[in-house]
Amino acid sequence: MVGPEINTRAPRVSDSLRPGVPSRPATAISPVGVLVRNCLAAMNSADDDAEDRYQAALGRLREQAATAVVELAGMERDCAGRDYPTRWALVHVAASLRHPAALPFLRNLVLTPIPAEQSPDSHSFSSVAEETILRTTAVDGVGALAADGNREAQEALVEFVAQPSLSIRRAAVQSIMATPRGRSRGRQIAALLPEDQRFLLDLKPADVRDVPQVARPERHLSDTGRRAQTVPPPNLLGEASRAGQPGDGGPSVLPE
Amino acid sequence: MATCTVPPIPDKDVTGETLYGPRSCWQAFVDWAWSAHGFQNAYWDDGFGYEDPCNTDLPLARTFNGMWLLNYSADDYWNEEWSNNILHWGRRYVRDQIDDLRSLCGDGTAIARAVAGRIELYLGFFYTKDCPGRAETLVHESRHLGGKPHDANFPSGSVFGAGKSGADSTWDYEGAWMFGALYLWWFYADGRRTTSALREAARQRANLVIDNAFATHPGFTIT
């Protein structure tokens, strides 16, 4: 593979990026740690059998759920604080276990105060946003346990409503409403919410097909964009015939 | 001119590099993506990946990974009619809008910005976003190039800072937050050639945007 063809070299005006410190080789990993890593790999595969392998990996973790949750919590704790993708994946696995052994870890995460914003420009990047996503994922995991009838999980959801985060409250309210008797608890939940956030009780779970779309998006092109007339990307190998685009002919260059 | 260092790289399985890296390491795609998005070569060498476009430790390959996802996640990806949904036309909008794409260090946390007709991508884009998040960022910033600034302050309780500027007033404003959230939502609902984990991550992020980035909450949530 070679870089894209370029025709000119501009004078140096840009920044330089230097290699980082190589990550340390993994230290000895426990047997359950191997299962967690296998689960992460299966969870992030797109092979035809990926979902089956992921469910099988979850099943193996579930067989030793208490140990698995300790391992997941330890791995999440050991992640670099800003490694939000890996931390999220570990929380997602814990939530996906749908096992009571995961409840203390998930509950503790949700109830841990979100650290103060680390970013000077939270519109561009917000550590509070990333920390919140970890917690809403945990709330959803607790919600799944609550829907299965776990009383402790149901009580935890009510605790979560008191958290000072709109998204955590939203996720908790949605999970409570999804439990068998959730709808009957509306007044109790409303009393826990600040007045200006009681609208959370009225939010509608929606399908993307049912919400307003962008009408005639080409209206929103810049003048330059309207003139661009860029060409579409090459078709994927083996899918050209499905595309049925005369003149396109599918990929003309093989992957190198 | 600044000099920065590659930060610790998140697990590549988790961010989608393992999945999308081999896919975007395809000469025809690399050549097309470079040309279609106005990559400025002076801004992609000197460590950012021009010399090594398949190395997913580096910004260029990680950008290509997000672009591969943006371009091929609809089942019938070749149907990019404007009358279709954003999972289809998002890629067309992005490449039509961007004709000057640059990589820069930033302050270490910054993600991206649209400024003076170009888009600048920073270390946060390459190393804190997963592949769907990078696609969403390209959609979001492209909307700004379309002349749509944020028009409101973040609401009470917003993770982005209640009362600070940078929110969109409503969903119907059709601003950058709506474009990004809608893209993530469609990717969650109907994304193909991807994983259930990346789709779920997209759902969580879309809900966060819906909850926190509109002065008036849109009134719905993704379950």
Task: Say whether both A105 and A200 belong to one domain.
Answer: yes
Single-letter residue type at A253: V
pLDDT the model gives residue A81: 82
Domain assignment present for residue A91? The answer is no
* Percent over 70 (pLDDT), chain A: 86
Determine, yes or no, domain membership for A238.
Answer: no
Give the pairing type, strands B3-5 and B101-103.
unpaired
| A215 located within any domain | no
Question: Which whole number is the average pLDDT over B103-127?
Answer: 94
Backbone angles phi, psi at A191, to 5 degrees: -65, -25
CB A111 within 8 A of CB A135: no
Confidence band for B1, pLDDT divided at 50, 70 and 90: confident
Q: What is the DSSP code string of A155-222? A: HHHHHHHTSS-HHHHHHHHHHHHHSTTGGGGHHHHHHHS-GGGGGGGG-EEE-GGGS---SSGGGG--
Instruction: Give A47's pLDDT tier (boundaries 50, 70, 90).
Output: confident
Residue A81 sits at the chain B interface (C-beta within 8 Å):
no
Are residues A142 and A48 part of one domain? no
Residues of A in contact with B194 (CB under 8 A): 46
**DSSP at A253:** S
The Cα A228–Cα B4 span in angstroms is 33
Q: Do A44 and B50 touch (CB under 8 A)?
A: no
**Which amino acid type is present at position B220?**
F
In Å, how far is B61's CA from the nearest CA of chain A? Answer: 10
What pLDDT is recorded for position A51?
A: 86
pLDDT value of residue A246: 34
pLDDT of residue A5: 58
pLDDT of residue A146 exceeding 50 = yes
Please say whether the beta carbons of B143 and B126 come within 8 A.
no
Q: Are residues A147 and A203 in the same domain?
A: yes
Q: What's the one-letter identity of residue B42?
A: A
> Considering the domain boundaries, does residue A146 fall inside one?
yes
d(CA B30, CA A4): 6
- Hey, is A246 helix, strand or coil? coil
> Final residue of a domain: which of A208, A232, A250?
A208
Together in a domain, A104 and A54: no
3-state DSSP assignment of residue B166: strand
**Residue that has been written with the tokens 């920073």 in this structure:** B122
Q: What are the pLDDT digits (tens) for B47-81?
A: 999 999 999 999 999 999 999 999 999 999 999 99
Question: Average pLDDT over chain B, rounded to whole?
Answer: 96
Q: At what angle do helices A50-63 and A84-96 cross, to 10 degrees?
A: 70
Q: If you average pLDDT over residues B198-216, what whole number do you get?
A: 97
The confidence band for B117, taking pLDDT boundaries of 50, 70 and 90, is: confident
Longest CA–CA separation in chain A, Å: 68
Q: How much is the pLDDT for A229? A: 81
Of the pLDDT bands very low, low, confident and very high (cuts 50, 70, 90), residue A100 is very high
Instruction: Note the pLDDT tens digit of each residue in A183-200.
Output: 888 899 999 999 999 999
Q: What is the DSSP string of B130-155?
A: -HHHHHHHHHHHHHHHTT----EEPP
Percent pLDDT > 90 in chain B is: 94
Test mutation, B15, B44, B78, chain A, max A CBs within 10 A: B78
Asked if the structure places residue A221 within a domain, the reply is no
Q: Give how far Cα A194 sits from Cα of A197, B34, B156, Å.
A: 5, 50, 10
> Is A233:B33 a contact under the CB 8 Å cutoff?
yes
State pLDDT tens for residues A228-255: 889 999 999 766 544 444 333 333 332 3
Binning pLDDT at 50, 70 and 90, where does residue A27 land? low
Say if residue A130 is in the same domain as residue A202. yes
* Chain B interface mutation, best of A44, A86, A131, A175, highest count of B Cβ atoms under 10 Å: A44
Residues A76 and A102 in one domain: no
pLDDT at residue A104, rounded to an integer: 98
Return the pLDDT at A247: 33
Residues A199, A146 share a domain: yes
Q: What is the pLDDT of residue A140?
A: 98
d(CA B214, CA B221): 13
Residue A143 has a pLDDT of 98
* pLDDT above 60: residue B151: yes
Residues A39 and A68 occupy one common structural domain: yes
Minimum mean pLDDT range among A171-185, A203-217, B197-211: A171-185
Q: Two tokens at B133?
A: 């998040």
- Residue A141 in this model has a pLDDT that exceeds 70: yes
Residues 6+ apart with CB under 8 A from B139: B70, B86, B90, B93, B94, B179, B180, B183
Give the start-to-end residue ranges of the domains of chain B.
Answer: 13-212
CA B166, B212, A83, B33 torsion-angle sign: negative
The pLDDT assigned to A25 comes to: 58
What pLDDT was estimated at residue A24?
Answer: 63
Q: Is A64 inside a domain boundary?
A: yes
pLDDT(B5) > 60: yes
Q: Tell me A230's DSSP state.
A: P
pLDDT confidence tier of residue B108, bands split at 50, 70 and 90: confident
Does A12 have pLDDT greater than 90?
no
Q: What DSSP element (H or E) covers B212?
A: helix B196-212
Task: Specify whether A102 is located in the same domain as A190.
Answer: yes
Using CB atoms and an 8 Å cut-off, which of residues 19-58 of chain B contact chain A? Answer: 19, 25-36, 39-48, 50-54, 57-58
Range of the domain at A70: 29-80
Q: Which residue has the higher pLDDT, A249 or A66?
A: A66
- Interface contacts (A, B; CB < 8 Å): 342
Residue among A174, A217, A255 whose CB faces B89 most closely: A217
CA distance B112 to B98: 13
Q: What is the pLDDT of residue A9?
A: 47
Say if residue A110 is in the same domain as residue A175. yes
| Phi and psi torsions of B106, nearest 5° | 75, -165
Same domain for A203 and A104: yes
Q: Are strands B152-153 and B165-167 parallel, antiparallel or unpaired?
A: antiparallel
Chain B residues with beta carbon closer than 8 angstroms to that of A80: 8
Question: Which of the pair, A80 or B68, is modelled with greater confidence?
Answer: B68
What ipTM does the predicted assembly reach? 0.95
Q: How many domains does chain A have?
A: 2
Would you say residue A198 lies in a domain?
A: yes
Lowest mean pLDDT among A89-93, A111-115, A181-185: A181-185
A196-228 confidence digits (pLDDT tens) = 999 999 999 999 999 999 999 999 999 989 988
Tell me what pLDDT residue B210 has.
Answer: 98
Taking alpha carbons only, the member of A167, A171, A169 closest to residue A144 is A171
The answer to whether residues A71 and A150 belong to one domain is no
Does A14 reside within a domain?
no
